[in-house]
Amino acid sequence: MQDSREDPWQVYGATLSSRLLVGTAQYPSPKILADAIRASEAEIVTVSLRRESGGSGAGQSFWSLIRELGVRVLPNTAGCHTVKEAVTTAEMAREVFDTPWVKLEVISDDDTLAPDLIGLVEAARILARDGFQVFPYTTEDLGIAEKLVDAGCEILMPWGAPIGSGRGLNNPYGLRAMRARFPDVPLVVDAGIGTPSHAAAAMELGYDAVLLNTAIAKAGDPVVMARAFAQAVEAGRLARLADPMEPRDMAAPSTPVIGRAFTAA
């Protein structure tokens, strides 16, 4: 039997076996955060830079906890509304987290947290030229995706639904079209996933991985939910590899018709 764990994927030269990326925000406690990340089997977690709050040293102890987990960190530019803010935040994050990776978010609208696609392309160009390895938070717009790839992005991360909404895949058609257009670019559904079935659906569409935060952190039991997502992502990946059947309009009996009792021989 094929095991999805022997089915790694790659981005920017890193080889990864887990296809689940998780955020580190909104957990009830640092211990639950650590336990949930372990249960998720994620190899990449997202982090941010913020002003110190909640007592001096909170940021330092968070950073120690993440380092102890031994995972790769993907710093974000969450909350940045301009190219300048996003680029400066990325530069600051590269120094603190000692990684060229950046999850690039340029936000256009506070109600939807939709990406500003024009600003995103501009910021991606600037950062890629400066040696960053950009993970752009984008939409399923194919024209923008082409520009991001031209700018040097070796991965695309379209949203499933607005950040934190838990609504799942709002536009499966658009996500499928993106998969078809970019067969060789790693694609990750980032944002909007609410339940493990949403994550499995993204994997069944052929996405290389999913990135989520709130769905685990805000579950009643984040550690159990992290396990559920790990299993769903693996199930969805295996389903993709196994080539699912096509849906049919009409019923077709699965039990053999021949040999049925109470019929004429």
Partner 1 sequence: MLISVNGKPCEVRAETLAALLAELEYEDAVVATARNRDFVRRRDRAQTAITEGDEIEILVPKQGG
Measured from the CB of residue 205, what is the shortest distance to partner 1 in angstroms? Answer: 22
Nearer to partner 1, 85 or 154 (CB): 85
Q: What is the largest CA-CA distance in the chain?
A: 85
Phi, psi of 7 (to 5 degrees): -130, 70
Nearer to partner 1, 49 or 239 (CB): 49
Measured from the CB of residue 72, what is the shortest distance to partner 1 in angstroms? Answer: 14
Task: Please give the C-alpha separations between residue 155 and each of 25, 49, 94, 142, 232, in angstroms, as whole numbers.
Answer: 23, 22, 18, 13, 22
Nearer to partner 1, 17 or 61 (CB): 61
Half-sphere exposure of 89 (CA within 13 A, CB side): 25
Question: What is the β-pairing status of strands 9-11 and 14-16?
Answer: antiparallel
Would you name the residues annotated as active-site residues? 103
Nearer to partner 1, 138 or 214 (CB): 214
Please choose, from the candidates 129, 144, 124, 189, the residue with its C-alpha nearest in 3D space to the C-alpha of residue 163: 189
Nearer to partner 1, 30 or 172 (CB): 30
**Residue 164 corresponds to which tokens in the numbers above?**
């934190």
What one-character DSSP code corresponds to residue 177? H
Measured from the CB of residue 54, what is the shortest distance to partner 1 in angstroms? Answer: 10
Measured from the CB of residue 251, what is the shortest distance to partner 1 in angstroms? Answer: 43
Spatial neighbors of 79 by CB under 8 A, at least 6 apart, are 105, 107
Q: Kindly report the CA angle at 214 between 208 and 218, in degrees rounded to 5?
A: 135
The residues that touch partner 1, with contacts defined as CB under 8 A, are 23-27, 33, 46-52, 56-60, 62-63, 66, 75-76, 78, 84-85, 88, 91-93, 95-97, 163-164, 213-214
Measured from the CB of residue 163, what is the shortest distance to partner 1 in angstroms? Answer: 7
Please choose, from the candidates 73, 64, 97, 102, the residue with its C-alpha nearest in 3D space to the C-alpha of residue 86: 102
Identity of the amino acid at 34: A
CA distance 105 to 232: 26
Measured from the CB of residue 104, what is the shortest distance to partner 1 in angstroms? Answer: 13
Nearer to partner 1, 2 or 112 (CB): 112
CA distance 47 to 89: 12
